[in-house]
Amino acid sequence: MTLTAQELNTLSVKATDAKSTAYCPYSKFRVGACILTQKGEFITGANVENVSYPVGTCAERVAFGTAIVGGYKDFKALAVATDISPGASPCGMCRQFMREFTTPSFPVYMYGGDGNYVLKTMGELLPDSFGPEDLPKED
């Protein structure tokens, strides 16, 4: 479950680089995200805003949506990078979205503009969560 130093380094570089792909003309708040899969693949995302403000999408949901439609599964870690320090943590909607594809021990690295990070697990970010396994099984 633990990341190697090299995996964490690549994850942070890719999440930080992904900030440059953000479309955020309204907030000017750039967010980059990068997912590492258990196989060692990296999938990035960034926030994509909209003139109708609530329609905009966060970097985390862009990254996970991209990963899912790309056929990736079995995710190992996520890094989110912003320009503020300390870094931002995922919004409530993103936490539930990410919960669909992660376990409570899944690590989320939140990078600030100063390059430092705060590490929390999905279970810490979204305790007592409602997940796919909570729906009754169909027979």
Residue positions forming the annotated binding site for substrate? 47-53
Any contact of residue 47 with ligand THU (CB under 6 A)?
yes
Tell me, yes or no, if 60 is annotated catalytic.
Answer: yes
DSSP result, the chain: -PPPHHHHHHHHHHHHHHGGG-B-TTT---EEEEEEETTS-EEEEE-B--SSGGG-B-HHHHHHHHHHHTT---EEEEEEEESSSSPP---HHHHHHHHTT--TT-EEEEE-TTS-EEEEEHHHHSTT---GGGSPPP-
Considering only 8, 43, 58, 78, the residue that binds ligand THU (CB under 6 A) is: 58
User: Within positions 87 to 126, which residues make up the interface with ligand THU, using CB under 6 A?
Assistant: 88, 90-91, 94
User: Residue 56 or residue 104: which is nearer to ligand THU going by CB?
Assistant: 56
Contacting residues toward ligand THU, per CB under 6 A: 24, 27, 29, 31, 47, 49, 56, 58-60, 80, 88, 90-91, 94
